[in-house]
Amino acid sequence: MFELSSKRKSHPVSLWEDFFDRDFFAPTGAGQSNFLNADVKETDDTYVITMDIPGMDKDSIHIDYDNNQLTIAGERQEEHRENKKGYIRQERSFGSFSRSFYCDNIDPNGIKAAFKHGVLTITAPKVTEDVPNKYHITIE
């Protein structure tokens, strides 16, 4: 199971739960409300998570897998400006961000990540269980 929520739940996330989980009252550009949107694709043997994280380098992004939680976190430092004159509007967000996914059927040893041109791609292989198709039953 792969959930798109930051909270572990006992059932898959519905579209309504994911929709109402977002904070629509946060001002535009404030923190992660519009910052860490993700695409999650499932194939037969992997999950692929793609996230746009512009304006950062790979050393500022941390990915951890612990207790069935895959967490992407980092911090974007605000540029220090001596003179803020001339700015009419500043909308770029700065500060810490974090996004977690509950996933109980991936192989943590096979998780790979790449970061190119502001796009983070994480490939997480599903757990493969080799189940033999022949059994010998011993009579007791």
CATH number for the domain that contains residue 122: 2.60.40.790
What counts of helices (H) and strands (E) characterise the chain?
Answer: 1, 8
Q: Mean per-residue pLDDT for 22-30?
A: 40
pTM value is 0.66
Q: State both tokens at 1.
A: 């199971």
Number of domains in the chain: 1
Distance CA 92, CA 57 (A): 16
User: Domain range for residue 62?
Assistant: 1-17+53-140
pLDDT band at residue 119, thresholds of 50, 70 and 90?
very high
% of residues, the chain, pLDDT over 70: 63
> Is residue 42 in some structural domain?
no
How high does pLDDT run on average in the chain? Answer: 73
> Is residue 37 in some structural domain?
no
> Is residue 115 in some structural domain?
yes
Q: State both tokens at 10.
A: 């006992």
> Is residue 72 in some structural domain?
yes
- The CA-based diameter of the chain, rounded to the nearest angstrom, is 87
Distance CA 15, CA 29 (A): 23
Name the one residue in this structure whose structure tokens are 């996230």: 51
Instruction: Find the range with the poorest average confidence among 15-24, 30-39, 60-69, 120-129.
Output: 15-24
Q: Give the N- to C-terminal CA distance of the chain in Å, as an integer.
A: 38
pLDDT tens readout for residues 47-80: 999 999 988 888 899 999 988 888 899 988 777 6
Q: What is the DSSP letter of 7?
A: S
> Is residue 36 in some structural domain?
no
> Is residue 41 in some structural domain?
no
> Is residue 118 in some structural domain?
yes
Distance CA 34, CA 23 (A): 10
> Is residue 27 in some structural domain?
no
